């Protein structure tokens, strides 16, 4: 564990002057720059205002879940139910909106709907967290339990809609505003900043990092491990539910399968950002950069007219490259420390 701490200290130091250190510390940011420059040179429309805003807005869907996935990773766990929570919260939001937000006078009803989504996400997260705490589970248990709840939540979304696409009949006002313009981007940045602050500067953040680094030790120091696990999964549920709401605000409709696969996107974003799956270390800012890399790459490939089939390939390569880079970073830090 000592070496881990040393690594953390090493990472915190300023990069130094030699090129190798810069590359190791800011490799992912440099990669992002290269993608942006290459896309901008090859296709000038890439850097237009509309496209940039589009990238930022697209980023939020995966981004919100990825933020909370960072917390879950810090615990040394995983949440595979994220995608199903996005789907379920999305269909519930649109159904409620179809009932309660039908005229301009009912515009303020949007806020209770968001509250319902948050509560729904919290309940689903609490279910995940409670079961995992009940069996005193670690990575393996969190994996299989959230896989189980993923199936259950997605089946509930299917039953709720009968498997149908739900069209939002009134798509104006506040509800739609959450998916347009600069508002969602600002909100996302505020949430990200808040989560980074909580992670780095509060008792809760320090505790989950401690639990992730050495759970037995945390338990023996008197931390209520179960409580922190449940809270973390509740946070994960809430963020994913908000992401589900955001999708419906953006496109004005919902399907019970729209969140499928988002859990892997969120995990990929954390991994590309350099959060380790071993737990104990991680940063929300890095995750935001990770989400940005994946979204920019996706958009750049789209703008360049590369078909969606080959895009998977690029994404896979980026993931492997970034985790390999991260691994070499750590090896180097251990060697030097």
Partner 1 sequence: MTKSSLGKVDGREIKKFLLSKSVLIVLILFAAVMGFIYPEFLSFSNISNMLQDISMYGVAACGMTILIIGGDFDLSASSQYAWAMILCISMTSIVGPVAAMLITLISGIVLGIVNGLLVAKVNLNSFTATLGTQLVIRGLCLAYTGGQMINTQNETFTAIGNYKLLGFSSLTYVYFITIVVVSFVLYKTRFGRNLYAVGGNAQVAKFAGINTSLTKIAGFACMGLLCAIAGLMFVAQMRAGSVLYGTDLTMSCVAATVIGGTSLSGGSGNVVRTLIGMILINVLYKALIFLGLSSYLQDMTKGIVVILVVVFDYFTSSIGRRTKSVTV
Residue numbers at the binding site for partner 1 (CB under 8 A) = 78, 131, 134-138, 140-141, 143-145, 147-152, 154-156, 158-159, 163, 215-216, 218-220, 225, 264, 267-268, 271, 276-278, 307, 309-317, 319-320, 323-324, 327, 331
CB of 62 to partner 1, least distance (A): 14
Q: Would you say 17 or 312 has its CB closer to partner 1? A: 312
In the complex, what is the shortest distance from the CB of residue 13 to partner 1, in angstroms, rounded to a whole number?
23
Cα–Cα distance for residue pair 196/206, rounded to 1 Å? 12
**Comparison of 25 and 150: residue with beta carbon closer to partner 1:** 150
What is residue 253's three-state secondary structure? Answer: strand
The CB-of-228 to partner 1 minimum distance in angstroms stands at 11
Distances 4 to 8, 112, 127, 181, 221 between C-alpha atoms, Å: 6, 44, 32, 42, 19
Which is closer to partner 1, CB of 44 or CB of 316?
316
Taking the complex as a whole, the smallest distance from the CB of residue 320 to partner 1 amounts, in Å, to 4
| Cβ 249 vs Cβ 172: under 8 Å | no
Which C-beta is closer to partner 1: that of 190 or that of 327?
327
Which is closer to partner 1, CB of 51 or CB of 130? 130
Minimum Å gap between C-beta 319 and partner 1 is 4
| Residues 133-141: contacts with CB under 8 Å, at least 24 apart | 133/225, 133/226, 133/229, 133/230, 137/77, 138/76, 138/77, 138/215, 139/76, 139/77, 139/78, 139/277, 139/279
- Dihedral sign of CA atoms 60, 73, 78, 30 in order: positive
């Amino acid at each position: 564990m000592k070496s881990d701490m040393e690594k953390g200290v090493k990472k915190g130091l300023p990069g130094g002057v030699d090129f190798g250190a810069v590359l190791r510390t800011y490799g992912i940011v440099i990669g992002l720059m290269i993608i942006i420059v290459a896309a901008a040179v090859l296709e000038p429309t890439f850097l237009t205002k509309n496209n940039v805003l589009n990238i930022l807005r697209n980023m939020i869907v995966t981004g919100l879940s990825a933020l909370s996935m960072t917390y879950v990773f810090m615990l040394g766990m995983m949440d595979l139910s994220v995608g199903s929570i996005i789907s379920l919260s999305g269909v519930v939001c649109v159904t409620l909106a179809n009932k309660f937000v039908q005229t301009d006078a009912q515009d303020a009803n949007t806020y209770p709907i968001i509250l319902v989504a948050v509560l729904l996400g919290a309940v689903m997260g609490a279910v995940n967290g409670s079961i995992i705490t009940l069996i005193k589970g670690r990575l393996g248990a969190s994996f299989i339990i959230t896989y189980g709840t993923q199936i259950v939540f997605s089946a509930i979304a299917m039953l709720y809609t009968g498997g149908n696409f739900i069209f939002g009949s009134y798509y104006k006002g506040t509800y739609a505003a959450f998916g347009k313009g600069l508002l969602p981007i600002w909100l996302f940045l505020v949430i990200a900043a808040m989560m980074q602050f909580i992670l780095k500067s509060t008792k809760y953040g320090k505790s989950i990092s401690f639990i992730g680094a050495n759970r037995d030790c945390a338990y023996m120091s008197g931390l209520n491990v179960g409580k922190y696990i449940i809270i973390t999964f509740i946070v994960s549920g809430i963020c994913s539910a908000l992401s589900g709401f955001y999708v419906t605000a953006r496109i004005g409709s919902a399907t019970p399968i729209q969140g499928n696969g988002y859990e892997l996107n969120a995990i990929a974003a954390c991994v590309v950002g350099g959060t380790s799956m071993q737990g104990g270390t991680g940063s929300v800012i890095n995750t935001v950069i990770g989400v940005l890399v994946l979204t920019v790459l996706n958009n750049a490939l789209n703008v360049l007219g590369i078909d969606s089939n080959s895009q998977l390939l690029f994404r896979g390569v980026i993931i492997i490259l970034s985790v390999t880079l991260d691994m070499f970073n750590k090896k180097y830090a251990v060697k030097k420390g």
